[in-house]
Structure 1
Amino acid sequence: MTSEVDRGAREGGAVGGAPPDVPPNEPADGDGPWRIGSVEVLAGLLVLLVVLREPLARALSTPRLQTWTTVFVSVLVQAVPFLVFGVVLSAVIAVFVPRSFWARALPRHPALAVPVASAAGVVLPGCECGSVPIAGSLIRRGVTPAAALAFLLAAPAVNPIVLTATAVAFPGDPEMVVGRAVASLVVAMVMGWLWLRLGRAEWIRLPRRPELDDGSRGRAFWAAVRHDVTHAGGFLVIGAAAAATINVVVPERWLQTLADDPVLSVLALAGLAVLLSLCSEADAFVAASLSQFSLTSRLVFLVVGPMVDLKLIAMQAGVFGRRFALRFAPATLAVAVAVAAATGAVLL
């Protein structure tokens, strides 16, 4: 009777030996040269933190660095829960929702799909951190980019949580809630229609997602969640760090000087919304605290923030590509400022 060893050798492998197709003197998988991975990098950073804990503690005790750390952590704490929510919803859309659903749910004509997708943001509680991966999943599932981008802009600004927070922050000015909802929906629809008119498919470069092709939906779902958390989370950290740096560098007295000029106050709060990178669920309370500015300029702050800020631009560049972000973000900023200022002039 032929032994298992002889039979294994004839089949190209060996029981307990190297796998098939591996040359005799080559290491098998897992026995190759040691490589530095993310776990090793994390372990090295932890060791450095332990070794340098006293110098780091002294450095972080300075007021400016304490301010930087506070802003950085606060942006992350505000954004991460909604990022996770958006990532999970994105994975559900990418793995479990069939393409035929979107064909039935949205009008076939792209121009009509844009306002429907914008209005869909009213029923989804989330912020801009979660809307980016969701928009990417919608495009992958066959939704026209114009409708997906309209949803990306509308959802963080018109969902029930954000509108409720705005009403609480401005108890004596209910028109701020109406103005925010109307202006945000108009901006989302205008940008969707502009994309239909001027946008090009090659500007959007969605990264290849082989994990979504896994035969098991469960494995594909968790692979998509892990990918989006690490990918979008990395850009969120970059944006939060940039926002914290701006908070430390820009003197507060500049804001006082600009508040008295109606035009400059609008531009100043639009720029401040971009730089602060606040979560849309919290920005209304910051806007309410800027009492030296007019209601119109604060409405601009509330409309611009959920659509164009540092962390959002960074995340858009990571999900859709830099060519997209360099075109879409400035155009959105210009449209948002113009529409919000016009809305404020009429309602406020």
Structure 2
Amino acid sequence: MALTSTPPRGTGPHREGDGGAAPPEESRHLTSPLLLTLVLLTAVMFQDPVRRALAAPVTQSWMTVFVAVVLQALPFLVLGVLLSAAIAVFVPPSFFARALPDRTGLAVPVAGAAGAVLPGCECASVPVAGALVRRGVAPAAALTFLLSAPAVNPIVLTATAVAFPDEPRMVLARFVASLLVACAMGWLWQRLGRTDWLRPPARASYEGRSGGAAFWGSVRHDVVHAGGFLVVGAMAAATLKAVVPAEWLRAAADSPVLSVLALAALAVLLSICSEADAFVAASLTQFSLTARLTFLVVGPMVDLKLFAMQAGTFGRAFALRFAPVTLALAVAVSAVTGAVLL
């Protein structure tokens, strides 16, 4: 005869009288529909203060700048994501290995030029550079491509021309400064880089997935991430334009050195996708063209998300050495290029 045990009263998963209902912890869980309902109720309860806030001149100015930056940058962002995903998925890494010269000193500028003709943002350049290293390409050439591809490709340069319609020199200055920094970092790594600083990636980014699935997966990933950074960057630009006191911005903008350093730091912190950063830079009209050039050169090469991606792909020892040197060189080259061309 099978024996069954009955749990004592008041113990077990359902206590007496609860009718089998979910535990109190689950019933109090804050779900997305409940959160949306609370937000809407709060907006209805405080509709008069909200209406007055939206009608304020500073709010309207903020919203105008924010919407303008997002709408101008979004088409270039989407186009850049589609093209970079296609290259990352459908162009085999062995193609780049065959196209580069055997001599590292010559491979560096060739890799920089390859970045100028192959569209892609920094989100795509890091895994592509990792694939190049894994396929036997000299690290100096792969790192040059990593820096040049998101900075001087056709999509980025076209977006820069649209964002600065009255300053065509900005396109040339961005191209020259970015390519110089990329090649200089490649040659610097060739001379001073050590193998134990660079941890090659273990596997391909799209290994085990079909071409179509990898393509759309890459598109979804880059649109979500790059789009989020674009929104954050547009919000920051609108805030600088509408909220920060004009005398503060004027004090920073009036100093040639401080303005360059301020926008270099802003580029690192905002981490805007390179297809969209020109429109944010164009909105910072308080600053000189040289300072805004620094913003455009530093952003695609050194920012918070790039540092995290580089550390995850090549190792923290690499990122801790590579990013600070790149930042210093990008600031210096941008300042010199701006003084000459702008």
Q: Same fold (TM over 0.5)?
A: yes
- For the 8 Å contact 2:253–2:287, the answer to whether it is kept is yes
- Aligned with residue 124 of structure 1, among 118, 122, 143: 118
- For the 8 Å contact 2:118–2:149, the answer to whether it is kept is yes
Q: Which runs of 5+ in 1 are unaligned?
A: 1-45
Residue 51 (structure 1) aligned with residue 27 (structure 2): no
Q: CA deviation at 1:255?
A: 3.1
1:278-320 deviations in whole A, cap 9, x for unaligned?
A: 2222222222222221111111111111111222222222322
Q: Which position in structure 1 is the counterpart of 2:322?
A: 328
1:33-44 aligned at under 5 Å gives the runs none
Q: CA deviation at 1:345?
A: 1.1
SS of the residue corresponding to residue 143 of structure 2 reads helix
1:106-151 deviations in whole A, cap 9, x for unaligned?
A: 1101111010000011211222222122212222222111111111
Q: CA deviation at 1:182?
A: 0.6
Residue 197 (structure 1) aligned with residue 195 (structure 2): no
- For the 8 Å contact 1:87–1:134, the answer to whether it is kept is no
**Distance between the aligned counterparts of 1:323 and 1:246, measured in 2?**
31
Q: CA deviation at 1:240?
A: 7.7
**Distance between the aligned counterparts of 2:139 and 2:333, measured in 1?**
22
Residue 292 (structure 1) aligned with residue 286 (structure 2): yes
**Distance between the aligned counterparts of 1:226 and 1:318, measured in 2?**
22
- Aligned with residue 318 of structure 1, among 312, 316, 328: 312
1:49-95 deviations in whole A, cap 9, x for unaligned?
A: 12333345559x899xxx9xx89xx69977676456434422334xx
- For the 8 Å contact 1:87–1:133, the answer to whether it is kept is no
Q: CA deviation at 1:181?
A: 0.7
SS of the residue corresponding to residue 254 of structure 2 reads coil
Change in Cα spacing, 1:196 to 1:85, as seen in structure 2 (3 Å) is same
Q: CA deviation at 1:169?
A: 2.3
Q: CA deviation at 1:206?
A: 4.0
Aligned-residue Cα RMSD (Å) equals 3.9
1:101-180 aligned at under 5 Å gives the runs 101-180=95-174
- For the 8 Å contact 1:297–1:341, the answer to whether it is kept is yes
- For the 8 Å contact 1:304–1:336, the answer to whether it is kept is yes
1:257-290 deviations in whole A, cap 9, x for unaligned?
A: 2111111011011111112222222222222222
**Distance between the aligned counterparts of 1:243 and 1:162, measured in 2?**
16
1:149-200 deviations in whole A, cap 9, x for unaligned?
A: 1111111121122222222222332221111111111000001111112222
- For the 8 Å contact 2:93–2:131, the answer to whether it is kept is no
Change in Cα spacing, 1:103 to 1:283, as seen in structure 2 (3 Å) is closer
Identity among equivalent positions (%) equals 59
Q: Which position in structure 2 is the counterpart of 1:14?
A: none
SS of the residue corresponding to residue 52 of structure 1 reads helix
Residue 305 (structure 1) aligned with residue 288 (structure 2): no
Scaled by the length of structure 2, the TM-score of the pair is 0.70
SS of the residue corresponding to residue 205 of structure 1 reads coil
**Distance between the aligned counterparts of 1:112 and 1:79, measured in 2?**
32
- For the 8 Å contact 2:230–2:273, the answer to whether it is kept is no
Q: Which position in structure 2 is the counterpart of 1:23?
A: none
Give the partner amino acid of 1:198: L
**Distance between the aligned counterparts of 1:227 and 1:323, measured in 2?**
29
Q: CA deviation at 1:245?
A: 9.7
Scaled by the length of structure 1, the TM-score of the pair is 0.69
Give the partner amino acid of 1:252: V
Q: Which position in structure 1 is the counterpart of 2:87?
A: 89
Change in Cα spacing, 1:87 to 1:334, as seen in structure 2 (3 Å) is same
Change in Cα spacing, 1:238 to 1:209, as seen in structure 2 (3 Å) is farther
Change in Cα spacing, 1:281 to 1:247, as seen in structure 2 (3 Å) is closer
SS of the residue corresponding to residue 189 of structure 2 reads helix
